[in-house]
Homo-oligomer: A and B are copies of this chain.
Amino acid sequence: MTDPIRIVFALFPGVTHLDFTGPHQILARLPGAIVDVASLAGGEIEADGLIFAHLKRLDQIEACDILCVPGGFGTTQAMGDEAFLGEVKRLAWSARYVTSVCTGSLVLAAAGLLEGKRAACHWAWRDQLALFGAVPDEARVVRDGRFVTGGGVTAGVDFALTLAAEIAGSAVAQAIQLAVEYAPDPPFQSGRPELAPPEVLARVRRIYDNGMDERRSAAVRAAAKLGRSEATPVLNPV
């Protein structure tokens, strides 16, 4: 008899869907996996044009083994949503693994969970982890004790396979990798700022710059709520 592994993806409006569909497709295949996709209000969540329905309410979930918080532009609001952060904190309390993909680590940080911990994040937001006393780590998958965090969006697949191996052994993780034919072969090598052509990096930065002040201010406010006053003056350092 395989022990059940209760996995919860904690969604919020404005989540990036691939941040959790990638890991979901992999972790749901773990022997014994029982997966809940939940949000504060339950029901439906829109994510980049896809609508995910019949979500549970987070407060309906008593506990889980793996808590995973994905990222997305909605983290700006999620970092300031006390009720959502409260549920994340409650489930994190007893979880064996507290995890995130992309800017989901900022939500974990805003819930006060990453102080002194190394964590991954989407490259364009990674530095904001420091506002919460977390240690930004540029690795694609970062493990610090029971905290396992992945980098931006597609890092969720590497994160999930790493966690799958940790939980069920490398043979199971490799079998899942084979089943989802994960032998990546990108047509370009442009997936990290230090790899991308300068004009490509500049193009993406221009897009992100629009609204970055607001997003950073949200992180500063969330950090201040945790009593981190040193956060306050650090607005867009270059």
Contact = CB atoms under 8 A, between A and B. Distances in A.
Interface of A: 16-18, 21-22, 24-25, 28, 35, 37, 44, 48-54, 102, 122-123, 140-141, 151-155, 157-158, 161-162, 165, 170-171, 173-175, 177-193, 195-197, 199-201, 203-204, 207
A200 B175 CA distance: 5
Contacts of A53: 44, 51-54
Contact of A192 (B122, B162, B183): B183
A174 B188 contact: yes
Contacts of A188: 161, 165, 170, 173-174, 177
B181 A186 contact: no
A204 B175 contact: yes
B174 A161 contact: no
A187 B162 contact: yes
B184 A154 contact: yes
20 contacts: A16-B25, A18-B21, A21-B21, A28-B49, A37-B50, A52-B52, A53-B54, A141-B187, A151-B181, A152-B180, A157-B184, A171-B199, A173-B190, A175-B203, A177-B186, A177-B191, A178-B191, A181-B191, A182-B186, A184-B191
The residue among A22, A151, A161 with the most chain B CB atoms within 10 A of its own CB is A22
A161 B189 CA distance: 11
A51 B52 contact: yes
A180 B191 CA distance: 7
Contacts of A171: 197, 199-200, 203
A178 B151 CA distance: 12
A205 B197 CA distance: 41
Nearest to A196: B178
A174 B190 contact: yes
A35 B46 CA distance: 14
Given A21-B17, A22-B18, A51-B53, A158 B186 contact: yes
Contact of A183 (B17, B54, B140, B180): B140
A189 B102 CA distance: 23
Contacts of A180: 18, 152-154, 191
Given A18-B22, A52-B52, 9 more contacts: A17-B24, A28-B48, A44-B53, A51-B52, A152-B179, A153-B180, A161-B187, A173-B187, A183-B192
